[in-house]
Structure 1
Amino acid sequence: MVRRLVSLCGVALIVSGCGAVQPKPYTEDEIKTRVDLDHQLMYADQEPVTRPITFYDAGARALKYNLDYRLKLMEQALARDLHDAATYEMLPKVVAGAGYVNRNNDFGGRSIGIEDGIETLRPSTSQERERTLADLTFSWNVLDFGVSYYRAKQKADQTLMAEERRRKVAQNVLQDVRNSYWRALGAQRLVGRVDVLLDRVNHALRRAKQVEKDGLMPQVEVLAYERALLDAVSLLTLRRQDLDLARAELTALMSLPPGMHYTLADDKEQPLPSLPVNLETLERLALEKRPEIMEEWYRKRVTENDIKAAKLLLWPNFGVDAGVHYDSNKYNYNANWADVGARLSWNVMKLTQWPALERSLEHQNKTDDFRRTALSMAVLTQVRIGAQRYSLALAELEFAEESLRVDQRLLTYARSAAKAQFDSELEVIRTEARALLAEYQRYASYANAQAAWGRLYNSIGLDVLPEALESSDVHTVSAAIKKTMGQWQSLTFAGSRHDSEK
């Protein structure tokens, strides 16, 4: 009776405790603590910037510290762990158990005659009220092993899919770095000169207004100069904003703290490869290398193994069990014993699923092949369009360089022909602004050409890192990126276009 009362009280406490759980939002202090922790994690364990950052250094920092890429590395590690766990599921089951049993009365029974219903034996027991149990059992099942085998193969393919997603993120990260780095470098080279020229333009605007007020020049001519100066200010401001944003994007890609001061290496511009002429070779290489296509191909194997596991369950099942046991019951003749058994079973009705599974496998394979084919067509289109964009970017760069040469010659002529007159000074300032805009355009065109070349490189699916690195410091990763890209370029793209230094 006492035990029953204790049990009822325990149940009542559990039920009352379930109703006491209420929503509990985070406090402001907890939110602030979490924000501080996240901020530390974003910039934790980064190598300090001790030298001007080259393009390959920027790529190395992006791949080493970019949070999106680090997330893909974690997903890849998780996929490997899941594969390892799935591999162990193929092992037989070996279960060790121990227990304690207690009942409040004796276990037992009596014997009654079947024909006359007369009790033939008095009530008796063969089991103690309290006893301890222990056993160690081994079991192995053919179907469980087969299903675990196919599940392990699926996890192995999912590990390869995670690797392809990591490759794609690495390629995209370096492409983003390429898009931002060269524009940011152009901003670094020109932003000081732009500030000086903007001050001169603003001073010239004030002088022009004073000249107009004093009537020293025809009003129409002064207004024309003012219009030209205002246009120059507008264009210079827009160009500066575009290139300054590129520096902010590059800072985010390298996961550097916002506002951190660093300098980009003012090295000689990298030569751009010549326009590829072997597009068929590049297209075939893209079909072999693109991570998206490889991921789809692995996904096909995953779905195939899923259906194979389902088909395996239609066959007979064979299992083996063995174990050793112990029971402390003093009435047992043998307190320790071992047993072994085997069983064969077959749910024959499941065979009716076979035609449906065959059809689903056929249709799934066709669907996967068609999806991969459609993706391959898109990849080929990207390669062709990438080559065309690169061609247009090279032409745009040549035009920008020619425009810059003309504007620089005009500036030289305007400076040599300038006199003390106000109109000559305005013409020099206007010519300087146009020449600086041309130089901005030239840097922008070079950055666009680099971006177009990067898109072509990316459309082929070429890797940016080797399969293994001796270490993961920024300098080693930077050197590996430079070497890998140089090898791909020498093997894939013939010739190079050397740009003149500006």
Structure 2
Amino acid sequence: MRKPAAKTLGIVMAGALLSACANFESKPAGKDEMQKRVVDDQRLMYANQEPVTGPITFYEAAARALKYNLDYRLKLMESALAANLRDVSSYEMLPKLVASAGRTGRNNDSGGTSIGIEDGQVSLRPSTSEERYHNLSGLTLSWSVLDFGIAYYRAQQKNDQILMAEERRRKVAQNVLQDVRNAYWRALSAQRLKPEVDALLRQTQKALTAAREAEAKGFLPKQEALAYQRALLDSVYLLTVRRQDLEFAQAELVALMSLPPGTKMVLAESVEQALPTSNVDVAELEQLALESRPEIMEEWYRKRVNQTDIDIAKMQLWPNIGVDFSGQYDSNAYLYNNSWSQAGIRVSLNLLQLLQLPSLNAAQQAQAQTDDTRRIALSMAVLTQVRIGTLRYQLASQELAFADDSLRVDANLLEYARAAKSTSIGNQLEVIRAEGRYLLSRYQREAAYSSAQAAWGRMYNSVGFDVLPETIDQQDVKTLANAIQATVTEQQLRRPKYLLNTGSSGVEAVPVAQ
């Protein structure tokens, strides 16, 4: 009766286990769980950030963006993960050392008898040489040439993947710095111009009200009054649009630096320096770009990774040589020797796998051609970026020169209007219109300077220059800002003359004299 009962119990337990697995369903996250996740994510976004204690320079903005930018931190983690995976794969080249222990048992004796081959007669009575219950243990050392070779190639592949991750980190860092450069100068312009724009908007609204009253009371001809109102409304519209641009610029810089919401941000003011000349040697820039751009280097390492995959597949066609050595112990009392050691060597070869060799050779050649074509296409795109970046900087420099001329003319017009100011409404409105034109010219000049800075940074970035120190996480914002500035200076000293003395690398500007 014991066997049917045990069998029935086993069937019941198996059925219960299968039923539990079949009824297992994933449940969507609850509202409380989602709210907790949101709170935790928001806390992690701004965790361990240094507070803003003073005006922020360009280099400090770049340091904060690189230290706290989530995209850059993600690339740092990817680089660390690739290095850890390399360390793990390096252990695969070691021999395998396996320790085992266990206990075996059965419900009856293991044994047998012998019969004669010719007559079929029993020659020995049934006997056993194994205890029903006994312990086993062993220690086996094995090494395979094929496993070692594959692990060696995998380790080399992981090294190349680390280099690829490092190139991606370089690219993200360069893009972050470029974004900071674009946003910083626009945000600095916003900091300078917003108070003046707000004051002029209030003054323009008052003048618009006065013009309407003058029209209603007949102090001005109707056509002239309407023309002044039209001019004032156009000025209000343009100033409002420009003010929105200024708001967006500051919000963009705050986001790039990953500052917590509500953080007060003041940008540092200093002497504006001239931008470098737009006369550059495009051919030398292109050569530098082909040597330095992270995307091209990543594709070069990718080619080596892909070639390693083919090499591993070819290695699996080789004969495999394995060596084993082990020590064993068995507590079986019927054994003559309860402990022993053994060694062996084996050679194996899958003959049918040799048929893959022509296909592998063709795949290797096709893979190499594909990788080269992809890299060459990317190189062509890089050269195009360099040429376009150079042209954009030249045009931005011309636009800045034109904006300087316009600002000078509007400043003189404003001075003339103020000198000719009288108590008449027409003259007062003319002064307001001149102030509006002057402020718009200032905005256009600041925008042109910001665009020139961005164009210079884009051209500098298109070459692929590094402007980062070796370490970032271990430094505070101030130290990191100084390290970035020193790295930029050192980088410039090692480059051609047309990349020296770049005021756009981080020199903050001051307002134009009024």
Q: Is the 8 A contact 2:192 2:511 kept in 1?
A: no
| 2:243 maps to 1:243 | no
Structure 2: any 5+ residue segments left out of the alignment? 504-508
Counterpart pick for 2:283 among 268, 280, 283: 280
Find the counterpart in structure 2 of residue 396 from structure 1: 399
1:77 aligns with 2:80: yes
Partner Cα separation in structure 2 for residue 233 and residue 13 of structure 1: 77
Once residues 177 and 273 of structure 2 are traced to their aligned partners in structure 1, the CA distance between those partners, rounded to angstroms, is 16
Match of 1:192 in 2: 195
- C-alpha contact 2:386 2:459 (8 A) present in aligned 1: yes
Letter of the aligned partner of 2:225 in structure 1?
V
Residue number in structure 2 paired with 1:344 = 347
2:467–2:491 contact (8 Å) kept in structure 1: no
CA contact (8 A) 2:68 2:258 kept: yes
Which of 165-174 and 22-31 deviates more?
22-31
Match of 2:432 in 1: 429
- Cα displacement (A) at 1:270: 4.3
Aligned-residue offset at 1:467: 2.9
> 1:274, 1:496 within 8 Å by CA — same for their partners in 2?
no
Q: Deviations over 1:272-299 (max 9, x none)?
A: 2222422222111111110000000000
Distance 2:329 2:12 in 1: 35
Residue matched to 2:375:
372
Q: 1:416 aligns with which of 415, 419, 422?
A: 419
Q: Does 1:127 align with 2:144?
A: no
Cα pair distance change 1:433/1:473, threshold 3 Å: same
C-alpha separation between the residues in 1 aligned to 2:7 and 2:95?
41
Could you tell which deviates more after superposition, 57-66 or 238-247? 238-247
Write the letter of the residue equivalent to 1:235. L
Residue type of the partner of 2:180?
V
Q: Secondary structure at the match of 2:123?
A: strand
Deviation at 1:470, TM superposition (A): 10
Give the CA deviation at 1:112: 2.3
- State the secondary structure of the residue aligned to 1:272: coil
Partner of 1:182: 185
Q: 1:180, 1:249 within 8 Å by CA — same for their partners in 2?
A: yes
Distance 1:254 1:493, change over 3 A: farther
Deviates more, 1:466-475 or 1:27-36: 466-475
Match of 2:448 in 1: 445
**C-alpha distance 253-493 of structure 1, shift in aligned 2 (>3 A):** farther
* 2:208 maps to 1:208: no
Alpha-carbon distance in 2 for matches of 1:114, 1:3: 41
- 2:271 and 2:510 in contact (8 A); partners too: no
Deviation digits for residues 95-152 of structure 1, max 9, x if unmatched? 1111121212221222222222222222221111111111110111111111111111
- 1:252 and 1:258 in contact (8 A); partners too: no
Segments of structure 1 that go 5 or more residues without pairing to the other structure are: none
On the 8 A contact 1:164/1:292 being kept in 2, the answer is: yes
| Matched letter for residue 195 of structure 1 | D
Aligned residue for 1:456, secondary structure, equals helix
Displacement, 1:364? Answer: 1.2
**What's 2:110 paired with?**
107
CA distance in 2, matches of 1:166, 1:112: 76
Aligned mate of 1:481, from 464, 469, 484: 484
Confirm or deny: 8 A CA contact 1:293 1:376 kept in the other structure: yes
SS of 1:323 mapped into structure 2: strand
DSSP-derived class of the 1:273 partner: coil
- Choose which of 225, 233, 238 in structure 2 pairs with 1:222: 225
Instruction: Give the stretch that moved more between structures: 208-217 or 443-452.
Output: 208-217
Q: 2:364 and 2:15 mapped to 1: Cα distance?
A: 54
Paired letter, 2:172: V
Q: Name the aligned partner's letter for residue 58 of structure 2.
A: F
CA RMSD, 1 decimal: 1.6
**How far does the alpha carbon of each residue in 1:385-419 deviate from its partner, in whole angstroms, 9 at most, with x for none?**
11110010111111111111110111011001000
1:361 alignment counterpart? 364
Question: Cα–Cα, structure 1 residues 8 and 105, in superposed 2: closer, same or farther, change >3 Å?
Answer: farther
Contact 1:61 1:254 in 2 (8 A): yes
Alignment of 1:57-96 (within 5 A): 57-96=60-99
> 1:11, 1:120 → 2: CA distance?
46
Measure, in 2, the Cα distance between the counterparts of 1:500 and 1:69: 31
Question: 1:469, 1:25 → 2: CA distance?
Answer: 39
Return closer, same or farther for 1:501/1:186 CA change in 2, 3 Å cut-off: closer
Q: Would you say how many aligned residue pairs link Structure 1 and Structure 2?
A: 502
Matching residue of 1:465: 468
Kept in 2, the 8 Å contact 1:307–1:361? The answer is yes
Aligned structure 1 segments of 4 or more residues deviating by more than 6 angstroms = 497-501
Identify the match of residue 492 of structure 1 among 493, 496, 511: 496
Q: Which residue of 1 aligns with 2:234?
A: 231
Q: Using the alignment, how far apart are the partners of 2:488 and 2:149 within structure 1?
A: 44
Query: How high is the TM-score relative to the length of structure 2?
Result: 0.95
Match in the other structure for 2:506: none
Pairwise CA distance, 1:80: 0.4
Q: Bigger shift: 306-315 or 264-273?
A: 264-273
Identity %: 58
CA shift, 1:5, in A, is 4.8
CA–CA distance in structure 1, aligned partners of residues 130 and 474 of structure 2: 67
Report what 1:19 is aligned to. Answer: 22
Report SS of the residue matched to 2:93: coil
Preserved CA contact (<8 Å) 1:274 1:493: no
Residue 390 of structure 2: aligned partner:
387
Matched residue type, 2:367: Q
